[in-house]
A and B are shown apart, each in its own frame.
Chain A
């Protein structure tokens, strides 16, 4: 494999940025591009003449901007943790939710909704639910006599299944007129609840996890050659594995707690990234950030504008993603 083409790298930088800027101009609140640009410039240069209303300011800066940033960050988080897990577990079929993060977070959120907690509390409970689930999976692995990558996955599956059942239990007993729709809608994923407060809550864990994953990204290559070989190459495999798991858990829990469960991205985007830039995690992880962010932003733009009511993201990621990635699959040369 030669170095990835420069054109691809440029696209990976330009597309997410262009998409983010473009997304500022689309939405239900109707405003002319001129007014929006004028208002944005006036924010930086106060003397700049503009004719924007306070409503416009709120719509763009308090509603659209946080939502765009959240869409980018959630997409980035799910994609980078999916790619890291696929490297760690040496398996292209695992996703960011493999250790039970999504089930745990879903349980936390569903419990919060059942208890009629405020949206902020629901969010915090989802975040903690995700972390507790992975913590339990690690605990099972810790007490295993031969702790290895495989036992870790199995532990994650056990915990994931347990929390899925608990979520089903809550859904089954939920009041079908009030609580049930809220739970189901949360489970299908949406960024409609985005706010600057949600952003402030989710950004620190996401950025911290992403940063550490980027710092250790080359080592994931070595780890993906198998545990024994990585050891022979001087890698402290246990420490590296636990670092990856902690980072991925932080970013996915933060992502799930603000957006609900969004499938696909943590599974498919890493494959797409490998097709574009190859399996070297040094380039793959940044590429996944770009693709994941851009993809979820695109999906979310459709979710909030296509119909008069919001479409859950979990529905769109699959319906839009399947044909795109099916096409790419037939074209792909370096599919894992």
Chain B
């Protein structure tokens, strides 16, 4: 199953595009990371891709078929979407929340069947939150909640998974757990699109990076091609260094980046460093 974004543009108000001319195509069984700073239009793009909002121009193709012509339940049978902001509402149990993932497969006048219950239970087990099954969704931690939402999306049995900054409120351990889970799901046959503003997440977990800045499209390609010191400077407006080390266990080259320490770069000129070059 492939998802292709063609020349996508969107605006809330005429003449002020949130993003424009975005093009990319998912890679089968891998993670595509949409990378960009806060407010660059990532979330809006993902909502348009999931069919929640409608593009002003361009198109989104699922296996060559435009989502504009598809019914909502049809889209939801293929695309699973996990929002970033999420208010919990009523005190449903974790199981009840995961079961809601079955909605696109259940008729309007029907309730979940035994088969749906089994699928929800399997999804809970697959994500490894069986111990939370009967807890209240409102009373578990942010990391656990993210895993429960992933379970809900798995119960939906989509072919493509969309995650909007899945790690935004999580601590280091939970970030790693969630991203590992995402990567595992991709390896098991899901195409994943996730947004992030951490370049290192893209280095570690994704096979393709789409770089966005101010609603525009900068580059797309492998992390190595796209996440360059020059590009990071363009989108974040700060000097960065990219480091390469050999992983002592696997022997593979691992890349990561960090903001350059300006006190070492230009020790005599600390206080008027680099504001004028900022693109914003």
Q: Does A224 contact B (CB under 8 A)?
A: yes
Residue-wise, chain A 277-313 has the 8 Å CB interface mask toward B (1 for contact) of 0111010000000000000000000000000000000
A221, B88: Cα distance in complex, Å: 12
The stretch of B106-114, B177-185, B200-208, B223-231 in contact with A is B106-114
Cβ–Cβ contact B89 & A224, under 8 A: yes
A-B contacts, CB under 8 A, total: 92
Query: Residues of A contacting B80 with CB < 8 Å?
Result: 232
Q: Are B108 and A224 in contact (CB under 8 A)?
A: no
CB of B166 to closest CB in A, whole Å = 14
> CA–CA, A11 to B104, complex, Å?
34
A221 in complex: contacting residue of B73, B77, B100, B104, CB < 8 Å: B100
Contact partner of B92 (CB less than 8 A), chosen from A219, A229, A234, A279, is A279
Comparing A37-45, A52-60, A136-144, A210-218, the segment that makes contact with chain B is A210-218
Q: Which of B71, B86, B96, B136 contacts A229 (CB 8 A)?
A: B86
Asked if A278 and B93 sit within 8 Å, CB to CB, the answer is yes
Instruction: Give the distance to chain A from B23, nearest Cβ to Cβ, in Å.
Output: 23
A175 at the interface (CB under 8 A from B): no
Residues of B within 8 A of A219 (CB): 103, 108
* In the complex, chain A residues whose CB is within 8 Å of the CB of B273: none
Contacts of A231 in B (CB 8 A): 51-52, 72
Which B52-89 residues have C-beta < 8 A from chain A?
52, 71-77, 79-81, 83, 86-87, 89
Chain B proximity mask over A227-239: 1 for CB below 8 Å, otherwise 0: 0111111111000
**Interface flag for B145 (CB, 8 Å):** no
> In the assembled complex, which residues on chain B have CB atoms less than 8 Å from the CB atom of A279?
90-92, 96
Q: Are A226 and B72 in contact (CB under 8 A)?
A: no
User: B96 and A221: CB pair below 8 A?
Assistant: yes
Chain B CB count within 10 A is highest, among A222, A232, A233, for A232
A173 at interface (Cβ–Cβ under 8 A)? no
Chain B residues whose C-beta falls within 8 Å of the C-beta of A92 in the assembled complex: 90
Report yes or no: B52 in contact with A228, Cβ–Cβ below 8 A.
yes
CB of A225 within 8 Å of the partner chain:
yes
Q: How far is the CB of B140 from chain A (nearest CB, A)?
A: 13
Report if A10 contacts B (CB, 8 A).
Answer: no
CA distance A222 to B73 in the complex (A): 13
Q: How far is the CA of A224 from the CA of B110 in the complex (A)?
A: 17
Complex contacts, B118 vs chain A, CB 8 Å = none
Contact A232 B52 (CB under 8 A): yes
Q: Is B50 an interface residue when CB atoms closer than 8 A count as contact?
A: yes
B75 neighbours in A (Cβ, 8 Å): 234
- B156 at the binding interface (Cβ < 8 Å): yes
Please name all residues of chain B whose beta carbon is closer than 8 Å to the beta carbon of A234 when the two chains form the complex: 72-77, 103-104
**Do A233 and B47 have beta carbons less than 8 Å apart?**
no
CB proximity to B under 8 Å, residues A238-286 = 240, 274, 278-280, 282
Tell whether, in the assembled complex, residue B104 and residue A233 are in contact, meaning their CB atoms are under 8 Å apart.
yes
Q: What separation, in Å, do the CA atoms of A297 and B111 have in the docked complex?
A: 30
- Chain A hits for B96, CB < 8 A: 1, 221, 278-280
A235 CB contacts on chain B under 8 angstroms? 72-73, 76, 103
Interface residues of B (CB under 8 A from A): 47, 50-52, 71-77, 79-81, 83, 86-87, 89-93, 96-97, 100-101, 103-104, 106, 108-112, 134, 136, 156
